[in-house]
Amino acid sequence: MKKQTYTAYFILISSILSAFSAFALKNQHNTVISVPPSKRAVALGIPTLDNLAGDWIPMAQVENMPAVHNFNHMLVVNRDLTSYFYYPGGIYPWKKGHPITTLTIDGQEYPAMETRCFPYKALRRNQYCNGTSVETDTRMINELRNVMCRIIATNTTILPRRITLALHVPGKLMADGIGVSNSTQRPGVVSVVRPARKPDAVSVEKDTVVWRWMVELPKGGSTHIEFAAGDEASEQSAQTDANVIKWAAGFNSYFDACKTNWENRWADAFTPGNKHFSGHLPILKSNDAALMRNYYVGVWTMLALERTQFPVNKRSFITSGEREDGTQFYWDASMQSTAWALLEPAGMKATLRRWLVQNPRTGQASGYALDLRNVKGFDTTHYNRINGYAFNACTIFKTIDEYLRVTNDRAFLDEKLENGKSVIETLDALATDWETLPKGHDGLANYGENNNLLECAPAYINCVSSCNAQDIWMMRQTAKWYSLRNNSMRAKQLETKAAALLPKVMSLYEPGAGVWNAWQLNGKRVELRHCVDFIYTGNALKRDLSGKQKSEMVSFVKNELLTRDWMRAMSLKDSAAVNSDRPDHGPMGAYDGWVPLTVNTMWNLGDPEGAYKFYCSTVVVTSEGPFAQAREFFGPNRMEYDAPVRIAARQGCMKECISGVAFSDVVITTFFGFVPEAGNGRILADPSTPRPFSGELRNVHFAGKEFTLKAGHKGVKVISEH
């Protein structure tokens, strides 16, 4: 879908929602009335789930297939019409999941030619199956180990036809002569598949059960068949079969409930005092359709990755659905900090208690991510270098800082953690962690090798500006929290340390180029043309950079990184570009989170109009659905400004990724400037900056009140609170 089409469509939807919401929630006596799930979004004045859906995309253009989530598990549809990969517990091996159930029409299997992604379902279709058009709809029941699929076949000829539809299910025929069980798909797990409508014939062919339906279809006539699948540990096979029998028998009701549950979750996310989340997100109103769509698709991404089965908290947010159960990477999750603090402050606080006791240098799994299945334990070893991600310290710090400022939960600073330290002591330790790292040129901290930093950018190693600049920012920010606690001595010490480190980091700037250098341990000063330095160094030092430096940095991004619809994480002019082909951090694509973070830094360095224009230009990527781990340029034009872009899959890139929520975060924190400051009552960062759009952000929660922020060419102001 073209951006102009999205714009017209969303303006129409927005006007309808605005008109409806004026009367939908209250009757003539000003009493709140009950709103059915299907109408709650309209009553709130937000897009419906069907409004959010992506476009029909030709399968030939799709690299990473649409996914379905049910707040416990995830599936990714396959390239045929009915099979899928099911992820109840991790990406490896790829065969994890249910039997690969395939469809034939008159004995012929056909591929899916197009696919479309919704929050609650994934569609596939082939309209040219020798006179038959087939569309399939795949869903999951809320929080259960379940998959449901509906197949609709339509006669597209001008004559009545008799067709045979057959489903081929690997496994063993069960005692009733219909159900299929499979214990070879995953060791120790039994999967059961059953049709909702009794087949006209059942046969066994090798290790596969075949269900057949012979159907008479008039000209233009349609028929449908469905199947339900479930799985559990082998010792629970009887219960699994009982569940699948129930789901198949009540297929229509359970199938419809998949959407209803998602509708309620979607509406809850924007409803103050809702019964599910401990908070809520603001409602965005604007006539700019691209702004609206990116914001709400960001929220869709967040809800897709909500999980309710982990003991750390019943409302948690994983990084990606394909990973091992309960995996929450600190770096990715840090990019949704404001949205997380607004939507789920209680769950965020519980999770951060676990983050704060983790060792940022460990080489264990916790050196990259938190396991939400574990409620206690941490690595107490002191390492003399970084073994995990170099960005752990600053991203954990950023997320804690954001929670404290957005929730105004100042008491959390003094709370004692599992390791006996207070939160403010831990912030101090994170801010000064660099002091005991190995040092390189001029005393700059050495942040490790490729596997500690960007993994696929061979020159991005050792004494990089991004992490060293974040040390300055963390010390300054911790000083603010100490000042709030009347510890002016420690605050001054940290400010002094930051001031001493500042000129060393500033010396890494390349005058006239708008980029930053790194000192490698071999003594080489290496120029880096990467968005990570722009983002993390630019934001950390925005008060220290000269106007000329800011302008040069923004020019570098515009001239070398931004494309028509997306961006390159690394410039094609970077010396390592030819050896850095991974979609998330190389020159042939970008991690989805880099886009809104780049937008934020462009804005903060003095180019709000350019930042906003770029943000809106990326809306075309949502034709594939929610935000992902990375998007790549493809085809013969991939080196050019107008390179086509799609969700990447190669080199381990996942489907949805929590970093995509930054597309919503940046609207709240940057475009509307909701950035509560430590130590004072200010909630707006730059209210006088003219906004290149007009709109309102309603129900912004802070300090026990709900605020409405209005943005326009005169800036941002609070127009109401209650």
Q: What is the pLDDT of residue 30?
A: 42
Q: What is the pLDDT of residue 92?
A: 52
Token pair, residue 205, equals: 């062919």
Task: Please tell me whether residue 403 adopts helix, strand or coil conformation.
Answer: helix
Q: How far is the C-alpha of 303 from the C-alpha of 277, rounded, in Å?
A: 11
In 8-160 the beta strands, taken as DSSP E runs, fall at 57-58, 67-69, 74-77, 84-87, 102-105, 114-117, 122-126, 132-139, 146-155
Q: How confident is the model at residue 95 (pLDDT cuts 50, 70, 90)?
A: low
Q: List the single range of 1-10, 521-530, 573-582 with lowest mean pLDDT.
A: 1-10
> Quick one: angle between helices 594-604 and 608-617, nearest 10?
160
Q: How far is the C-alpha of 200 from the C-alpha of 520, rounded, in Å?
A: 71
β-bridge pairing 102-105 and 161-170: antiparallel
Query: What's the 3-state SS for 625-645?
Result: CCCECEEEECCCCCCCCCCCE
In 333-405 the beta strands, taken as DSSP E runs, fall at 369-371
pLDDT at 8 > cutoff 80: no
Task: Please tell me whether residue 280 adopts helix, strand or coil conformation.
Answer: coil
Torsion of CA 379, 382, 385, 387, to 10 degrees: -10
Task: Please tell me whether residue 618 adopts helix, strand or coil conformation.
Answer: helix
Q: How far is the C-alpha of 182 from the C-alpha of 208, rounded, in Å?
A: 10
- pLDDT for 188-218, tens place per residue? 899 999 999 999 999 999 999 999 999 999 9
> Strands of 208-217's sheet, edge to edge?
102-105, 161-170, 208-217, 201-205
Average pLDDT of the residues in 460-472? 97
Mean pLDDT of the chain: 93
Q: What's the residue count for the chain?
A: 722
pLDDT at 453 > cutoff 80: yes
- pLDDT for 664-673, tens place per residue? 999 999 999 9
pLDDT at 434 > cutoff 80: yes
Average pLDDT of the residues in 142-166? 97
Task: Please provide the DSSP assignment of 445-492 as one string.
Answer: B----GGGTTSS-TT--SB-HHHHHHHHHHHHHHHHHHHHTT-HHHHH
Q: How far is the C-alpha of 16 from the C-alpha of 19, rounded, in Å?
A: 5
Which one is the CATH code of 65-261: 3.30.565.10, 3.30.1540.20, 2.70.98.40, 3.90.1170.50? 2.70.98.40
- pLDDT for 102-125, tens place per residue? 999 999 999 999 999 999 999 999
Domain boundaries, the chain: 3-49, 65-261
Q: List the single range of 225-229, 362-366, 463-467 with lowest mean pLDDT.
A: 362-366
Tokens 């109840």, residue?
Answer: 88
Q: Assess contact for 32 and 25: CB atoms under 8 A.
A: yes
pLDDT at 149 > cutoff 80: yes
Average pLDDT of the residues in 210-235? 96
Q: Where are the alpha helices (DSSP H) in 157-288?
A: 237-249, 251-268
Task: Please provide the DSSP assignment of 202-234 as one string.
Answer: EEEETTEEEEEEEEEE-TT-EEEEEEEEEEEEG
The amino acid that residue 322 corresponds to is E
Q: How confident is the model at residue 23 (pLDDT cuts 50, 70, 90)?
A: very low
Average pLDDT of the residues in 600-605? 98
User: What count of other Cβ atoms lies within 10 Å of the Cβ of residue 188?
Assistant: 8
β-bridge pairing 208-217 and 161-170: antiparallel
pTM: 0.94
Token pair, residue 523, equals: 């003594």
- Of 414, 411, 431, 432, the C-alpha closest to 423 is 414
713 backbone dihedrals φ, ψ, rounded to 5°: -70, -15
pLDDT at 713 > cutoff 80: yes
Determine if the peptide bond prior to 282 is cis (ω within 30°): no
**Given CA atoms 82, 83, 85, 88 in this order, what sign does their dihedral have?**
positive
Q: In Å, what is the CA distance from 6 to each residue of 54, 380, 488, 587? A: 10, 52, 53, 28
pLDDT at 18 > cutoff 70: no
pLDDT at 305 > cutoff 50: yes
